[in-house]
Amino acid sequence: MKTIPITKEGYEKLKEELHQLKTVDRPKTIEAIEVARSHGDLSENAEYDAAKDRQSFIEGRIMDLEYKVANADVIDPSTLPSDKVVFASRFVLENVDTGEEVTYQLVGQEESDISEGRVSVSSPLGQAILGKAPGNEVTVQAPGGQRLYELVEIL
């Protein structure tokens, strides 16, 4: 089985979502199915169909999360080198053209969320920045063309 690299924070979020689905969402959906079933003819019961679709989604998500939690490789950033960008590193990049600085954390695919400053290690930026040290320049192929960044610091 393939392990899934993840930070402790990401691992905890997966476990919380799994717990929510199993203890709250699944029972509510089962109850909704029973209520819809009590309304009679199931062949024309949109409420029943919607509840069954929701149940299918929840069961699929539970299976997905259980796999991810079981195969998670929780990585502690404090045990990793701090002189270069590695998994779980937080770093500051400066756009060479505009001078704009951004801060990101390099995380696994399951945790990536650019709006929260978490970029996937398998993304173009993640691949380009991996192993770089402060002062290094990084070229990233973006949809709008190539962008040049300088790694300012590792936090």
Q: What are the boundaries of each domain within the chain?
A: 4-75, 77-154
Model pLDDT, residue 102: 94
Residue 135: Cβ-neighbour burial (10 angstroms; 0-12, 13-18, 19+):
exposed
Say whether pLDDT at 77 is over 80: no
Q: Is the pTM of this model over 0.75?
A: yes
The DSSP letter of residue 85 is -
Q: What is the CATH number of domain 4-75?
A: 1.10.287.180
Identify the band that residue 1 occupies on the pLDDT scale cut at 50, 70 and 90.
low
The mean pLDDT value for 48-56 works out to 92
77-154: CATH, from 2.20.25.240, 3.40.50.300, 3.90.700.10, 3.10.50.30: 3.10.50.30
Mean pLDDT of the chain: 90
Model pLDDT, residue 36: 86
Say whether pLDDT at 134 is over 80: yes
* Residues 77 and 91: beta-carbon distance below 8 Å: no
pLDDT tens-digit profile of 18-47?
999 999 999 999 999 999 888 877 777 788
- The two tokens of residue 59 are 């069961």
